[in-house]
Homo-oligomer: A and B are copies of this chain.
């Protein structure tokens, strides 16, 4: 059986990763989302295993030691990470797994699992990126400026990725990512022997 693929959707803040991923999950059957583990407390309405795998700090730290995460980060006093186990199980079962993650996280994942499909989401322009960040309306001018400068710096990491998708319109970006997933399935990689032997097994007569 053909194994699935890890589809990493990443890019600067404000590029629209979240919206794109939600739409992908709606449109693609058998696409599984990777759920992060975190040591922070659940907020109201958050469900364990759906929003996060809520994990004790000791268990999380032991997990880091035992190399059980594809990536992890500490944000203030809390840890966040992508558990390897779930992702690998789905891939082995032939399912594609979607991982929405910031650039630092994606680069860690690439170190541990270079076979993944790394897609960088770009806003159509820096001005549009700024509009989007401002448009959220939830941040101070200082926070907006900081987020924007960081996004500006992050653009250079596109070279570490396999694909770059401009999120000019969500439905167009989604179509491009669906095309990438289909194309990756058609790639001649590890399964050459399988293809050849499948054909050779059949009798010529």
Q: Which residue of B lies closest to A163 (CB)?
A: B186
Contacts of A52 in B (CB 8 A): none
Q: Which residue of B lies closest to A165 (CB)?
A: B186
Contacts of A165 in B (CB 8 A): 186
> CA A165 – CA B195 in complex, angstroms?
11
Total interface residues on A, CB under 8 Å, equals 39
With an 8 A cutoff between CB atoms, is A28 at the interface?
Answer: no
Contacts of A120 in B (CB 8 A): 188
Q: Which residue of B lies closest to A180 (CB)?
A: B183
> CA A183 – CA B165 in complex, angstroms?
9
The stretch from A40-48, A56-64, A79-87, A148-156 touching chain B is A148-156
Q: Which residues of A approach B to under 8 Å, CB–CB?
A: 119-120, 122, 125-127, 130, 148-149, 152, 155-156, 158-159, 161-165, 175-176, 178-180, 182-184, 186-188, 192, 195-196, 199-200, 202-205
Task: Enumerate 18 A-B pairs (CB-CB under 8 Å) in ascending A order.
Answer: A119-B186, A120-B188, A122-B199, A125-B199, A125-B202, A126-B202, A155-B196, A155-B200, A158-B196, A159-B196, A161-B188, A163-B187, A163-B188, A164-B187, A164-B188, A176-B186, A179-B186, A183-B184
